Structure 1
Amino acid sequence: MRSLEGVAESPLSTVLNLTLQEEKYNLTLKEGNYGPRFYGWLFECHGFWHNVALIVPSALFVLYLGFQARKSFTKLTHGRSYIMISYYGCLWLVSLLNLAWCSLQAWECTPEKAVAWNVLSLFTTSGMLFLEVSLVAFLLQGNYASGLEALTRTFVVSGLIIGLDLLLKVIYLFGFGVPLFIDNNDQSHRVKWGLWVVHKLVLTAVYGFILFMYHSKWRERLPARPAFYKYITIMCCLNALALFACGLTGNGAGFGFWLYGLTMIFYHAFYLPLLYITFLSDFFQEEDLHLENVYYSEMKDAGFFDADWE
């Protein structure tokens, strides 16, 4: 009987031992091996291509700012433009926040990181919206908006709008439990998508109004730069597309959810470079042209070009 019991129990004990060994192995992988962590960070949640499409452009833009930092700082110091210095500093801060947001997409699908993800998303989206609103506020001040007074007006108006927007998001997010920044399994959350519809509708209306001004008799009140017009056109189309996607998703359409994700990728990956090209790169190029004109005048006064006239 004992031998039969031993034969009968040995397979069971073997299975238990193998199960325990497998659990220990999996625990070791989670604690000590970075392979599974890297795989989950890059491939899980929204998928590989979604994460790469966010991380690569954001990282490249931060690297570009880093390579140009010394040269840009020198130009800003000599230019002494409060508006440009402030925007450049805000752009650096928001770019780093956006890079962190794009790199930590796995937090969105991790319940233990829900609070950290919501806080990071709040700061990132508020920072980017601050740049949007402040640039629009600056444009609406007209062609001659410059100096400390214009900067103060711009930042006060933008700060009030962003503060109100941030307060409402905090109330809905932490007070009512509306998952504003978690988009993996809540396509039919009508309250959430209703809030995003209102948010995108306001932005679309503002950009549409500025486009209307460009084609009306009030056009002379706006800065006469084609780059600003292109910027407003792009942002109006992007927000209108996001508005349409939020409306579809709120009604349970899977295509709307996919389209909304696509607009989010374009916004977080390319908005900050678009802002830089529109508002800051011209300033740096103008400084280069100004320095070239100064050097040319000095050389001309010194007689370097007298031989060309002989």
Structure 2
Amino acid sequence: MQTLQEAPSQSGLPIPLTQAPNSTIDDGVSGSEFYSWLGECHGFFHNVALIVPSLLFVLYLAFQSRKSFSKLSHGRSYIMIAYYGCLWLVSLLNLAWCCFQAWECSPGKEVTWNILSLFTTSGMLFLEVSLLAFLLQGNYASGLEALTRTFFISGILVVLDILLKAIYLFGLGIPLFIDNNDRAHRTKWALWVVHRLVITAIYGFILFMYHSRWRERLPARPAFYKYTAIMFTLNVLVLFACLLTGNGAGFGFWLYSATIVCYHAFYLPLLYVTFLADFFQEEDLNLENVYYSEMKDAGFFDADWE
């Protein structure tokens, strides 16, 4: 009996039937895997809209890292150093979350996806709560006491949020982070409504302070007001989408997906532009003022007065 590995030819020599190393079959399999990674689950455009902005932001942080490290080391602001490090960590987590969207729809990957989603969303929430604490302080603070107080309060809130979500996920079996066929889970959407209602109320309270007699307690920076207005609008949309989806409306589920894409793709760049970019620019202005004062004391501008 002839084996499948060899077949006799007309010249009597065996002809191998094994697959050639450079066969196009392997290319087809790898191409299929690439398409399943990028195109399945929520779709090609959904995944690209998440991955591209997140990847570009991480590359931007890497490109600016040398300059940022130099300014942070000279500025000696403990809050800014810690916040910049947290931003790096959360940006990498968010990029991984955006790249592995296929895990959400893959059997056997539910636990891994839930853990990744839990830490990613909690890290972004930590940055969000910390920035709100900075806003309510009224100005930048650079002392260890301010850093400890702010991060301690933010850490407690985020740890409580992680514990509650872990109970919902692994104790009660509520699929908080699986959004493909879950419009029937009313308990899940009720939980998200409460979660978003609290965050929306906080941003709404800060906006109210900007238009009240307590405005002087907030930083006199237009960027902070714009940030608060953007986040208030986004959370209102998410809250509205959760209410609609909980009642079975298909448009609500589409709106919820769109707001989640916007949040994971653009929140971290918005945070950087609002908070850290201003700090780095102020350092440049402060250095220029120092150099000018030193040159003036040395008599470089005496000729201008003659």
Instruction: Map 1:1-310; keep pairs closer than 5 Å.
Output: 33-143=29-139, 145-310=141-306
Contact 1:107 1:117 in 2 (8 A): yes
Task: For 2:292, give the aligned amino acid.
Answer: Y
Task: Tell me how far apart the structure 1 counterparts of residues 149 and 26 of structure 2 sit (CA, whole Å).
Answer: 52
Task: For 1:135, give the aligned amino acid.
Answer: L
Task: Tell me how far apart the structure 2 counterparts of residues 32 and 56 of structure 1 sit (CA, whole Å).
Answer: 25
Task: For 2:195, give the aligned amino acid.
Answer: H
Task: Tell me how far apart the structure 2 counterparts of residues 74 and 140 of structure 1 sit (CA, whole Å).
Answer: 28
State the SS of the aligned residue for 2:180.
Answer: coil
Task: Tell me how far apart the structure 2 counterparts of residues 186 and 30 of structure 1 sit (CA, whole Å).
Answer: 36
Task: For 1:213, give the aligned amino acid.
Answer: M
Taking a change above 3 Å as real, the CA distance of residues 142 and 308 of structure 1, as seen in their structure-2 partners, is closer
Contact 2:134 2:140 in 1 (8 A): no
Q: CA deviation at 1:31?
A: 11
Taking a change above 3 Å as real, the CA distance of residues 144 and 38 of structure 1, as seen in their structure-2 partners, is closer
Task: Tell me how far apart the structure 2 counterparts of residues 116 and 244 of structure 1 sit (CA, whole Å).
Answer: 29
Q: CA deviation at 1:262?
A: 0.5
Contact 1:130 1:162 in 2 (8 A): yes
Task: Tell me how far apart the structure 2 counterparts of residues 299 and 141 of structure 1 sit (CA, whole Å).
Answer: 35
Q: CA deviation at 1:30?
A: 8.5
Contact 2:79 2:141 in 1 (8 A): no
Task: Tell me how far apart the structure 2 counterparts of residues 38 and 113 of structure 1 sit (CA, whole Å).
Answer: 17
Task: For 2:151, give the aligned amino acid.
Answer: F
Q: CA deviation at 1:303?
A: 4.0
Taking a change above 3 Å as real, the CA distance of residues 290 and 51 of structure 1, as seen in their structure-2 partners, is same
Say which is worse superposed, 284-293 or 120-129, in terms of deviation. 284-293
Task: For 1:143, give the aligned amino acid.
Answer: N
Task: Tell me how far apart the structure 2 counterparts of residues 30 and 178 of structure 1 sit (CA, whole Å).
Answer: 39
Q: How many residues align?
A: 283
Q: CA deviation at 1:167?
A: 0.4
Q: CA deviation at 1:302?
A: 3.9
Q: CA deviation at 1:280?
A: 0.5
Task: Tell me how far apart the structure 2 counterparts of residues 275 and 144 of structure 1 sit (CA, whole Å).
Answer: 15
Q: CA deviation at 1:309?
A: 4.3
Contact 2:51 2:95 in 1 (8 A): yes
Greater fraction of residues in helix: 1
Contact 1:30 1:37 in 2 (8 A): no
Which position in structure 2 is the counterpart of 1:6?
Answer: none
Which position in structure 2 is the counterpart of 1:14?
Answer: none
Say which is worse superposed, 192-201 or 145-154, in terms of deviation. 145-154
Task: Tell me how far apart the structure 2 counterparts of residues 297 and 34 of structure 1 sit (CA, whole Å).
Answer: 63
**RMSD (Å), alpha carbons:** 1.7
Question: What do residues 44-91 of structure 1 show as CA deviations (whole Å, max 9, x unaligned)?
Answer: 111111011100000000000001101101110111101101100000
User: TM-score, with normalisation over the residues of structure 2?
Assistant: 0.89
Q: CA deviation at 1:139?
A: 1.5
Q: CA deviation at 1:41?
A: 0.8
Question: What do residues 94-139 of structure 1 show as CA deviations (whole Å, max 9, x unaligned)?
Answer: 0000000001101111021111100000000000000011111221
State the SS of the aligned residue for 2:199.
Answer: helix
Say which is worse superposed, 300-309 or 221-230, in terms of deviation. 300-309
Unaligned ranges ≥5, structure 1:
1-27
Question: What do residues 147-173 of structure 1 show as CA deviations (whole Å, max 9, x unaligned)?
Answer: 111111111111111111110100010
Task: Tell me how far apart the structure 1 counterparts of residues 158 and 25 of structure 2 sit (CA, whole Å).
Answer: 43
State the SS of the aligned residue for 1:112.
Answer: coil
Say which is worse superposed, 217-226 or 97-106, in terms of deviation. 217-226
Which position in structure 2 is the counterpart of 1:13?
Answer: none
State the SS of the aligned residue for 2:122.
Answer: helix
State the SS of the aligned residue for 2:109.
Answer: helix
